[in-house]
Chains A and B, each alone.
Chain A
Amino acid sequence: MNAIDFFPLFLKANLRMTQRRISQLRQQSMLMMAVILLFVTGYWVGAYCLVHWGLGVLVHEFAGLGVLLVDRMLYLFFAFLFLMLIFSNMIIGYSSLYESQETQWMLTLPVRHSDVFSWKLAETMVLASWAFVFLATPLMFAYGMARQVGGLFYLKVFLLLLPFMILTASLGALAVLLIARYFQRRAFKWGLCAMAMIGVLLAVAHFHTIHPEGTQEAALGQLLRSSHLTLKPVLPSYWVASGVIAWGEKSEGRGAFFFLVLLSNALMGMLVCVGISGRMFYSGWSRTQSQGGFPLSAPRSGRPVVPLLHRLVDRLPGIDPITRALAIKDIRTFCRDISQWSQFAIFFGLLALHVVNMRNFAYDWNNEFWAAFVSFLNLGATSMTLATLTTRFVYPQFSLEGKRLWLVGMAPDGLRRMLLEKFWLSSAVSVAITLSLTLGSSWLRGEPPWMALLLGATVVLMSFALSGIAVGTGALFPNFGSGSTANRRDDNPAKIVSGFGGTFCFVLSLAYILLVIGGEALPFYFYLPWVNGANDTYGWAVVGSWVFTATISLVAAAVPMSLALKRVESLEF
């Protein structure tokens, strides 16, 4: 059987399975569908409006320079998209090619190895790219509207994105083929982790050097200089951005030229990839399957390496032995799952990048409104990242116990203790991270101590509340995967989060954040001296807003947790 016969069969089977997944989703919950639709539409409309408004401001406020800035923004956007697509293709490609049971099954079929590889390449490309392309659509529509182009422009942009996706998928797959062939399996995960961290550090270092202080012209000049790297004509992101710009300017020939450059490179990339896969894919497959498990940290001293956090929990007084054992188990499990670290690194890297950049918001520190605005912006960004983090890493914890749930459930008061342990552990880690980042950024911006104290106390409360929401909803709406209890096999946290419970957890976390920030920011706005002049109620308003935050946080943490604790008492496992 060759690829021509093989592809339609798998395409048909996969389409049928996708159709079933969608219809199952419809049957599952209308609320979930409504929430997802609301978010998708909300994102799309919000992003479109924001970009459209931003483009309008750039074009009208900076006569002459505006168009240049818009174009540069596109180059920058596609350069990031290029990197993210390669990264995403590598992660998905590696697990799809070398860690999937489906690939093993396919390799026992009477089909060529290169055909199996080609199918997996196509599958990886779709899985790795669809979300990024979706994220890009509002931007492209806003750009098209700003340029006042016809409907054909959007079709052409879509066509331009196709070879871009193929090229990034080929580059990602090529990297994966080489890594699997020549490096150890663990090296791939370590490598990804290192790449993520290095990327974040480079971004921090690069943007840290931008200090848009002084005149607007100087600041813009600095921004243009620092993004000059994206204008290298050898970059595929340059070709795609140039094609979009050319078609936006109705320069058909130039646009077509960049499309053809992309297409020829994409086809070449695919040809090289599939060509070498005949020899390299199977060798790499056999090599990865031959490596098996690795002994964990075999230190020269002969003593096992114990993570710092583990040692800390081991020495903390006042913890009962069962809770301590559960906490150590959770820490060990997380520390040994290297694939999670890269995502963890990206989250914290983004947070660090934000904090480092806070001092660049030095537009007008003397203006009290501006200073308060930046403070709340900082609080919002920190808490939003924390909400993403608790949803992504804490919410799946209960579901991850899956078929092992009985083990803890059989212990006296086991599941209640487990939930409380997860809550305290998540809260402690969240407090340590967010408090240090918030106080650090306050110090960088030279905020008054009372403001730093207020923001610090707020993030502590938010850490507890968001942990409570994540642990509580995790137990109330677990996602054990499909099938009967015996068939529970969802060990992938990313997959667990994508269900109803994960979505609900995130929505609840966002609603809580909006309430807290709104509650704290509004009294500031109404009572600050610049609005009403100095008055006696100002101090009370600040205290009142903080009491409001404390109350809301207590409710947000306690309600899901107490409901979850009640639920696990009657849980069948």
Chain B
Amino acid sequence: MIKTEQLTKKFGSLTAVDNLSLSIEPGEFFAFLGPNAAGKTTTIKLLAGLLKPTSGRALIGGYDIQEEPTKARQLISYVPDFPFLYDKLQPMEFMLLVGQLYGMDRSEILRASQDLFDLLHLDETRDQLIENLSHGTRQRVAIASALLHNPRVIIIDEPMVGLDPRSARVVKDLLKSRARQGVAVFLSTHILEVAEELADRIGILNRGRLIAVGTMSELREASGEMGALEDTFLALTREEEEAEPAEST
């Protein structure tokens, strides 16, 4: 459902994403990890078609996001870490706008929105302006609007930031259930517990390069650390840090 072929993005002399080749199947929950400035957000932006790759390509449902962006975007939902919402609209008005942009009819939007509002506990906020909502509630509205048109691919960047434990649980369950329904979920996070709990496979990016990818047990095996994902992550990124100066000399 998501496929990258030697995807590379350079910002001047800095290679933010380096030859990334990855394939994520329908129904797979993929967690993307990496230290700060590893290139996670750049990768996500390349997948969402917000940046042009320097070389390589990204395919969504078989459509090249650069060549056939409209068809590819019909399949995607992208939720950035600071999602955009119209402050002067109410959550339901925003849902109506988004639904219509994806070609849904009004009754379908209202029904699907109500389901999502119930799930994400947004019913109380429906008459308020978005500008008056807290960060966590805004995040939930953004997630609801992203799931409205039943996307086949969900690309989501740091969804748990600002969510209270109850909302975080709801979002995790919602994403997991969508994956079970055949949706490919690509989640970028710094919260290793979330990745460990939800992901079918985990990819670790460091300095733009995919240094490890696999199931939890495969990563443990590769790192030699049998403990929690934190130990595995630290071991893998440490190895990379240590290997880097050696390579350069």
Contact = CB atoms under 8 A, between A and B. Distances in A.
A113 B93 contact: no
Contacts of B100: 5, 9
A484 B49 CA distance: 33
B45 interface: yes
A101 B78 CA distance: 13
B29 to A, nearest CB: 21
Interface stretch (B131-139, B172-180, B195-203, B234-242): B131-139
Return the 7 tightest CB-CB contacts between A and B, nearest first.
Answer: A17-B88, A105-B84, A286-B52, A110-B74, A110-B73, A101-B84, A20-B88
B84 A13 contact: no
Contacts of A264: none
Contacts of B103: 1, 5, 110
Interface size of A as a range: 35 or more
Given A111-B70, A112-B70, A482-B131, A289 B51 contact: yes
A17 B84 CA distance: 15
Contact of B52 (A101, A112, A283, A486): A283
Interface in B131-162: 131-132, 134-135
A1 to B, nearest CB: 6
Given A1-B102, A13-B93, A111-B101, 17 more contacts: A1-B70, A1-B103, A13-B97, A104-B80, A105-B83, A108-B48, A109-B102, A110-B101, A285-B50, A289-B50, A290-B9, A290-B11, A483-B87, A483-B132, A484-B134, A487-B134, A487-B135
Contacts of B38: none
28 contacts: A1-B102, A5-B103, A10-B97, A13-B93, A13-B97, A17-B88, A17-B89, A21-B88, A102-B84, A104-B84, A105-B83, A107-B50, A108-B73, A109-B101, A109-B102, A110-B71, A110-B73, A110-B101, A111-B70, A111-B101, A112-B70, A287-B52, A289-B45, A289-B51, A291-B11, A482-B131, A483-B132, A487-B134
Contact of B50 (A1, A16, A102, A104): A104
A16 B51 contact: no
Interface in A111-155: 111-113
Interface residues of B, number: 34
Q: Interface residues of A: mostly helix, strand, loop or mixed?
A: helix
A291 B45 CA distance: 14
Nearest to A291: B11
Interface in A323-343: none
B48 A282 contact: no
A487 B70 CA distance: 33
Contacts of A292: 11
A111 B100 CA distance: 12
A1 B101 contact: yes
A140 to B, nearest CB: 33
Nearest to B75: A110
A512 B153 CA distance: 62
